[in-house]
């Protein structure tokens, strides 16, 4: 537990260590491919690194950051460390709307916007139905989210079956999350950075909101307005992540949990730590997914789920033991 | 008490010398689920006063406190904080002057006790500011005041029920409001802690040299704590009826028996008068 000021030396040091770790994970992603780690020698090697591996590593970095931040925010909204955009069906909603727009000929609307609409609709349903009071709230929230996720999954499968369009990205992308076709320019790093800065301006408020609506109001917050802001930003983060990598699960669960153990629960440290480590986590997961069974490539969502599901069950088990 | 040396200018009140009550309810009516529990309440909390709220379960003690704190709507009437209508003040301004200990605090995340107590400084800090060394001192003093000084690095989720209660109290003490509303502050506490905490709250109201002492209102279940620590008593009978007067006038066998709907006896040993429900199996009463 931290006892020093929120931006104390220790906190800065931890953020620095995490940033170095993220840089190292990108380095590994650039050098490790086709099952072997090798320094690029030839011009062809360099082109592979620069034009294939780098954009993909950046996509993983951006997606992981966004998902970890979205998870941390949703955990405040629902006052529950089990909240995650994938588990709650928010990613599913974003994917379903993105896909539906394509099939309905709404391609003039950017995929990010369609996904944003889906994320907003889905999280609105979960937050309205799932924010019960009392001992049932965890069960209620998870049930609502899981059922929503199942519903979106079914819709996505239906659309893919009926759509039968070669231009559509595959089932794996929409249902599991896959970075195989993903690649973004370095400019995309601005997306999590800007959204992180927006939320950092509210970070102390997030600490108070995590204590519940009444307590937050008593400590001088206008909770309804803050909840609305967080809801919009978390939906936007989820939507951008889904547009890049499909519905990658559990990053928003695993990363904030680990970061709370390292930097504590104060959101002024938790948010930047989650943004940095979230990116590194997904870069590493994707690098492993590419190389573990090379030349076969796993969708990255398989790996994140294999890490996330046991942790989810462990947290659920603990939350059942009283306080 | 924490913060009296370091309180920010806006947390203390303009016109301290004036006779404006700290908190005032005018013709205030409050309902729970369509049932009127407080009807036309007129009440003023003056500096240095400690008002106890007594009433049977479900009489609306908690609801009234939440309404007075402005986090729950009233049916009618007006609440004034330092002479200004509560409805016209921002949450932040209210929180600089009025704090409330709620009945159930649930901690969802593993923050340290010091971090939780520091959250009491939230309304006093500008949006982008971090807590200063002075704020940290205030939070530490608040933890010490509730006997949790040694636990500042401990996770709030590893505390016992009584410790969690005291941590919540430390948070509102760190907030250092002029008006303190307390919903069963002694819940979950053993007798020694009850006395220690209420002594501390009493001292807070009677700081020597304070230009404007604070005031408090607390919902209590223990009549005997009200006799010791309240200058005035508000009784809520349910169905909207209420009575409000100085403690000595309010706490009588007759009135308490009416309030709780069961015989209450006053037993005196010459030093102290204690109230108790007439006990024993029905035949023995």
- Residues A6-44 have pLDDT tens digits of 557 888 899 999 999 999 999 999 999 887 888 888 889
B7 pLDDT higher than 70:
no
pTM attached to this predicted model: 0.89
Closest-CA distance, B183 to chain A, in angstroms, reads 13
Quote the pLDDT of residue A59. Answer: 95
When pLDDT is cut at 50, 70 and 90, the band that residue B12 belongs to is very low
pLDDT computed for residue A104 by the predictor? 86
Average pLDDT, chain A: 88
What are the chain A neighbours of B107 within 8 Å (beta carbons)?
211, 323
| CA neighbor of A118 nearest in space, from A88, A141, A139, A144 | A88
CA distance A214 to chain B (A): 7
Q: pLDDT by residue (tens digit) across B103-118?
A: 988 888 889 999 999 9
What does the alpha-carbon distance between residue B13 and residue B210 come to, in Å, rounded to a whole number? 12
Confidence bin at B3 (pLDDT 50/70/90):
very low
Nearest chain A residue to B126, by CA: A204
CA B114 to chain centre: 22
Cα–Cα distance measured from residue B282 to residue B264, given in angstroms and rounded to the nearest whole number: 14
- Find which of A135, A211, A264 to mutate to test the B interface (most B CBs within 10 Å of its CB): A211
| Three-state secondary structure call for residue A247 | coil
The distance between the two most distant Cα atoms of chain A, rounded to a whole number of Å, is 64
Residue B285 has pLDDT above 80, yes or no: no
Cα distances (Å, whole numbers) of residue B27 to B41, B174, B243: 5, 32, 13
- Contact state of B94 with A220 under an 8 Å Cβ cutoff: yes
Is the Cβ of B11 closer than 8 Å to some Cβ of chain A? no
CB B115 within 8 A of CB A266: yes
pLDDT above 90: residue A97: yes
Q: Which residues of chain A form beta strands (DSSP E)?
A: 32-33, 36-37
Q: How many CB pairs below 8 Å do chains A and B form together?
A: 104
Position with higher pLDDT, A311 vs A25 = A25
Structure tokens given for B49: 């006063």
CA-nearest residue of chain B to A133?
Answer: B106
* Cα torsion A119, A125, A131, A137: sign: negative
**A interface with B, Cβ–Cβ below 8 Å:** 1-3, 5-7, 75, 79-81, 201-202, 204-205, 207-208, 210-212, 214-215, 217-222, 260, 264-266, 268, 323
Of A132 and B31, the one with more pLDDT: B31
Instruction: Compare CB distances from A218 to B71, B115, B130 and report the shortest one's residue.
Output: B71
d(CA B147, CA B193): 9
CA distance B252 to chain A (A): 35
Q: Does the beta-carbon distance from A265 to B115 stay under 8 Å?
A: yes
Lowest-confidence segment of A73-82, A244-253, B2-11, B148-157 by average pLDDT: B2-11
Burial of B33 (0-12, 13-18, 19+ CB in 10 A): exposed
Distance between terminal CA atoms of chain B?
Answer: 45
Q: Which residues pair with B232 in a beta bridge?
A: B51, B246
CA distance B166 to A283: 44
Q: How many CB atoms lie within 10 A of CB A128?
A: 9
Residue B36 has pLDDT above 70, yes or no: yes
| Res B5: pLDDT | 40
- Identify which of B174, B166, B176 has the alpha carbon closest to the alpha carbon of residue B196: B166
| Percentage of chain B lying above the pLDDT 70 cut | 90
CA distance A4 to A11: 9
Residue A322 has pLDDT above 70, yes or no: no
Confirm or reject contact between B160 and chain A (CB < 8 A). Answer: no
Mapped onto helix, strand or coil, the DSSP state of residue A323 is coil
Lowest mean pLDDT among A203-207, A234-238, B107-111: B107-111
* pLDDT attached to residue A173: 84
Contact A61, A279 (CB under 8 A): yes
Q: How distant, in Å, are the alpha carbons of A234, B92, B123 from that of A210?
A: 15, 17, 15
Q: How confident is the model at residue B120 (pLDDT cuts 50, 70, 90)?
A: very high
B4 at interface of A, judged by CB pairs closer than 8 A: no
Contact list, B69 vs chain A (CB under 8 Å):
218
Closest CA in chain B for residue A80: B108
Closest Cα in chain B to A207? B119
Most confident range (mean pLDDT) of A222-226, A272-276, A306-310 is A272-276
Contact B130 A1 (CB under 8 A): no
- Distance separating alpha carbons of residues B80 and B94, to the nearest angstrom: 11
CA distances from A188 to A157, A256, A267, A287 (A): 29, 22, 23, 19
Mean pLDDT of the B219-238 span: 94
Residues of B whose CB is below 8 A from A210:
108-109, 111
pLDDT at B44 over 60: yes
Any CB–CB contact under 8 A between B99 and chain A?
yes
CA distance B240 to chain A (A): 24
What is the layout of strands, in order, in the sheet containing B76-81?
A: B35-45, B23-32, B76-81, B84-85
Instruction: Report CA Rg, chain A.
Output: 19
Which of the residues A137, A202, A220 would you substitute to probe the B interface, choosing the one with the greatest number of B C-beta atoms within 10 Å? Answer: A220
Show the tokens assigned to A185.
């320019």
What is the spatial distance between Cα A247 and Cα A228, in angstroms, rounded to a whole number? 23
Q: Is the pLDDT of residue A164 over 90?
A: no
3 state SS of A37: strand
Tokens for B103, please give them. Answer: 């009945």
Q: How far apart are CA A129 and CA A232, in angstroms?
A: 17
d(CA B122, CA B172) in angstroms, rounded, equals 11
Percent of chain A residues topping a pLDDT of 70: 93
Helix H or strand E encompassing A9: helix A9-31
Most A CBs within 10 Å, among B98, B117, B122, to test the A interface:
B122
* d(C-alpha A294, C-alpha B87), whole Å: 66
Residue B9 binned pLDDT confidence (cut-offs 50, 70, 90): very low
Confidence class for position A62, pLDDT limits 50, 70, 90: very high
Interface probe, candidates B81, B108, B152, B167, chain A, greatest A C-beta count within 10 A = B108
* Pair A282, A251: CB distance under 8 Å: yes
Residues 6+ apart with CB under 8 A from B92: A220, A221, B123
Residue pLDDT, tens place only, B123-175: 999 988 889 999 999 999 999 999 999 999 999 999 998 999 999 999 999 99
Question: What DSSP string describes chain B?
Answer: -TTTTT--GGGSPTTTTS---SEEEEEEEEEETTEEEEEEEEEEE-TT-EEEEE--TTSSHHHHHHHHTTSS--SEEEEEETTEEGGGS-HHHHHHHEEEE-S-----S--BHHHHHHGGGGGGS-TTPPPPHHHHHHHHHHHHHTT-GGGTTSBGGGS-HHHHHHHHHHHHHHH--SEEEEESTTTT--HHHHHHHHHHHHHHHT-TT-SS--EEEEE-S-HHHHHHH-SEEEEEEETBEEEEEEHHHH--HHHHHHHHTS-EEEEE-SS-EEEEE--SSGGG-
Least confident of A186-200, B5-19, B45-59, B190-204: B5-19
Query: In sequence order, which residues have a C-beta less than 8 Å from that of residue B89 and are 6 or more positions away?
Result: B70, B81
Average pLDDT of every residue of chain B? 88
What value does the mean pLDDT take over residues A129-139?
A: 68
Judging contacts by C-beta atoms under 8 Å, the chain B residues touching residue A211 are 105, 107-108, 116, 119
Contacts of B165 in chain A (CB under 8 A): none
Partner A, chain B 218-277, Cβ-Cβ below 8 Å: none
Question: With contact defined as beta carbons under 8 Å apart, do A252 and A228 qualify?
Answer: no
Contacts of A265 in chain B (CB under 8 A): 109-112, 115
In percent, the amount of chain A with pLDDT more than 90 equals 59
Q: Please indicate whether residue B8 or residue A247 has the higher confidence score (pLDDT).
A: A247
CB < 8 Å to B110, chain A = 1, 260, 264-265
pLDDT at B10: 39
> Cβ distance A146 to A312 under 8 Å?
no
- For A52, A76, A211, B8, the CA distances from A225, given in Å and listed in that order, are 43, 14, 16, 26
pLDDT band at A73 (very low <50, low <70, confident <90, very high): very high
The Cα–Cα gap between A17 and A159 comes to 44
- Yes or no, beta carbons of B99 and A211 under 8 Å apart: no
pLDDT of B14 > 60? The answer is no
A210, B123: Cβ pair inside 8 Å? no
């Amino acid at each position: 537990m931290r006892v020093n000021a929120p931006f104390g030396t220790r906190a800065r040091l931890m953020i620095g260590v995490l940033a170095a770790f993220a840089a190292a994970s990108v380095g590994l992603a650039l050098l490790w491919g086709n099952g072997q780690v090798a320094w690029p020698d030839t011009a062809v090697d360099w082109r592979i690194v620069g034009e294939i591996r780098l954009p993909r590593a950046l996509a993983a970095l951006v997606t992981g950051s966004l998902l970890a931040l979205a998870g941390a925010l949703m955990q405040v909204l629902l006052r529950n460390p089990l909240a995650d955009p994938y588990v709650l069906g928010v990613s599913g909603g974003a994917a379903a709307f993105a896909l539906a727009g394509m099939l309905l000929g709404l391609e003039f609307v950017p995929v990010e916007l369609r996904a944003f609409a889906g994320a907003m609709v889905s999280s609105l349903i979960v937050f309205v139905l799932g924010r019960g009071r009392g001992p049932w709230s965890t069960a209620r929230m998870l049930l609502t989210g899981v059922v929503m996720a199942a519903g979106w999954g079914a819709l996505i499968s239906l659309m893919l079956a009926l759509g039968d369009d070669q231009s559509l990205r595959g089932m794996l992308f929409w249902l599991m999350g896959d970075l195989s076709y993903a690649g973004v320019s370095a400019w995309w790093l601005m997306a999590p950075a800007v959204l992180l800065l927006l939320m950092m301006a509210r970070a102390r408020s997030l600490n108070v909101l995590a204590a519940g609506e009444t307590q937050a109001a008593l400590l001088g917050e206008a909770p309804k307005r803050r909840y609305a802001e967080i809801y919009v930003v978390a939906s936007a983060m989820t939507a951008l992540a889904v547009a890049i990598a499909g519905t990658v699960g559990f990053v928003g669960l695993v990363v904030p949990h680990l970061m709370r153990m390292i930097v504590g629960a104060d959101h002024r440290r938790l948010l930047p730590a989650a943004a940095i480590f979230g990116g590194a986590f997904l870069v590493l997961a994707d690098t492993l997914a590419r190389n573990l069974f090379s030349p076969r490539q796993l969708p990255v969502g398989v790996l994140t789920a294999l890490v996330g599901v046991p942790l989810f069950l462990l947290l659920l088990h603990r939350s059942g033991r009283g306080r | 008490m924490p913060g009296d040396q370091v309180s920010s200018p806006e947390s203390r009140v303009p016109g301290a010398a004036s006779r404006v009550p700290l908190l005032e309810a005018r013709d205030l009516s409050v309902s729970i689920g369509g049932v009127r529990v407080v009807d036309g309440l007129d009440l003023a909390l003056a500096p240095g006063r400690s008002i106890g709220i007594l009433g049977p379960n479900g009489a609306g003690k908690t609801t009234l406190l939440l309404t007075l704190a402005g986090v729950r709507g009233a049916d009618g009437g007006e609440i004034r904080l330092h002479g200004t209508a509560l409805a016209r003040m921002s949450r932040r301004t209210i929180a600089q002057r009025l704090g409330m200990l709620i009945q159930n605090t649930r901690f969802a995340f593993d923050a340290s006790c010091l971090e939780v107590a520091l959250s009491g400084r939230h309304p006093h800090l500008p949006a982008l500011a971090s807590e200063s060394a002075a704020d940290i001192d205030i939070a530490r003093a608040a933890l010490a005041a509730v006997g949790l000084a040694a636990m500042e690095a401990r996770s709030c989720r590893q505390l016992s029920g009584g410790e969690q209660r005291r941590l919540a109290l430390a948070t509102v003490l760190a907030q250092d409001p002029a008006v303190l509303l307390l919903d069963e502050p002694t819940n979950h506490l053993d007798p020694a802690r009850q006395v220690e905490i209420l002594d501390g709250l009493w001292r807070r109201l009677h700081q020597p040299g304070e230009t404007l002492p604070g005031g408090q209102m607390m919902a209590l279940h223990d009549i005997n704590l009200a006799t010791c620590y309240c200058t005035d008593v508000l009784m809520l009978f349910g169905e909207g009826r209420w009575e409000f007067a100085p403690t000595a006038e309010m706490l009588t066998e007759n009135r308490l028996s009416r309030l709780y709907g069961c015989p209450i006896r006053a037993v005196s040993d010459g030093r102290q008068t204690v109230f108790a429900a007439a006990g024993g199996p029905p035949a023995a009463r």
